[in-house]
Structure 1
């Protein structure tokens, strides 16, 4: 299946979605993997994880990147190298790092590319999430909502916390103790949130979309 959907967050930030309809073999044959990625793939026991991993590479390939353009730092955070560009002064090619965040869930993989530091999360909407809401959010935020809206809101809240965690990527951050979403309505499609950690408070802009039974959440730091 080709690119399924794009969402333009702002003029320098776009999210790309791949609907995974292919089997593992078809995806594997369609991409070119680095030695490091091939080793990671071979270590995955779950077919779902294998598909999600390969679909991310399909998205990169669709955007004219290679698997070698995707690198990971010591903390496991991904970074994307743009194609070499000519420096107008020296006329020598120079690679420029772009920010990328990656997520996949069941039948979809997603990457978001930006000039800013960003985090994304993609989650399947399921009632089972309601059984664990007290572990990661203020359940009062679900009062007065239908079951369907409770599921959607709880899933978005999880996505908010996951996406912010991806931005900071620091040990010790707790979803219920350190990341707090401000009150919001699902219909609004956006909100703000705060991270209280290491004696600092950081504010985040959040945008979210419900897509084909999934919640997609995007976060960035508010300066």
Structure 2
């Protein structure tokens, strides 16, 4: 596993992307796991799912720069959190890469996705008509992935189920660029917030990230 990219957003918030190059056994050997975690890993079939789970935990260990045990759990909504560190975290993975975002003072969300043409088949499933209107036709695939990653990152940050990408997360219009930021709004009943979404192209992938407030 090799660090491919790291970005410090402020003094307390950062994210990193690692390329998954090791076998599962190598990643496993770098972790300290309790019995429940070991049983979970053993329940996964050998393949990408196993590598993704292990690689995000190895990258988390690297970012926290610790040799001690990291008690990383998920709540009833599936959102990961740390028991024995003050940081808030978000985890993502796609094909050959894992991504982790951490912050000492705010909630965070991150998503990484391999850019593929098939996203056009589901564009109206996660974007409303007003959002589809600002998609740049000359960069449609990439622009759609920016929108998807943004909504996924916001979904992960807020951490509650039953939030609809299309109905509850709205992106303010923005022009396509390879890297930038724009505003978005979460409007899901008691969940109300405005976010600044950052994004950038990384090789054949798109990264979207959201630091909370």
**Where on the TM-score scale, by shorter chain, does this alignment land: which range?**
0.7 to 0.9
Match of 2:153 in 1: 163
Deviations 1:25-55 (A, max 9, x none): 3322333322222222222236111111111
TM-score, normalised relative to structure 1? 0.84
Distance in structure 1 (CA, Å) of the matches to 2:153 and 2:54: 21
Match of 1:207 in 2: 198
Matching of residue 13 in structure 1 with residue 6 in structure 2: no
Match of 2:168 in 1: 178
Flag the structure with larger Rg.
1
Asked if structure 1 preserves the Cα contact closer than 8 Å seen for 2:2 and 2:20, the reply is no
Match of 1:75 in 2: 77
Matching of residue 140 in structure 1 with residue 130 in structure 2: no
Match of 1:56 in 2: 56
Runs (4+) off by over 4 Å: none
Cα 1:150–1:196 change in 2 (3 A) is same
Deviations 1:39-89 (A, max 9, x none): 2222223611111111112213322255533233333222235xxxxxxxx
Q: Which runs of 5+ in 1 are unaligned?
A: 82-94
Cα 1:67–1:123 change in 2 (3 A) is farther
Local SS of the residue matching 1:40? helix
Asked if structure 2 preserves the Cα contact closer than 8 Å seen for 1:164 and 1:220, the reply is no
RMSD: 2.0
Local SS of the residue matching 2:166? helix
Cα 1:198–1:14 change in 2 (3 A) is same
Alignment of 1:20-35 (within 5 A): 20-35=20-35
Asked if structure 2 preserves the Cα contact closer than 8 Å seen for 1:129 and 1:151, the reply is yes
1:151 counterpart (121, 141, 159): 141
Cα 1:76–1:200 change in 2 (3 A) is closer
Asked if structure 1 preserves the Cα contact closer than 8 Å seen for 2:82 and 2:88, the reply is yes
Asked if structure 2 preserves the Cα contact closer than 8 Å seen for 1:60 and 1:66, the reply is no
Matching of residue 98 in structure 1 with residue 91 in structure 2: no
Q: 1:2 Cα deviation (Å)? A: 2.7
Match of 2:184 in 1: 193
Cα 1:69–1:201 change in 2 (3 A) is closer
The number of equivalent residue pairs is: 206
TM-score, normalised relative to structure 2? 0.87
Cα 1:66–1:52 change in 2 (3 A) is farther
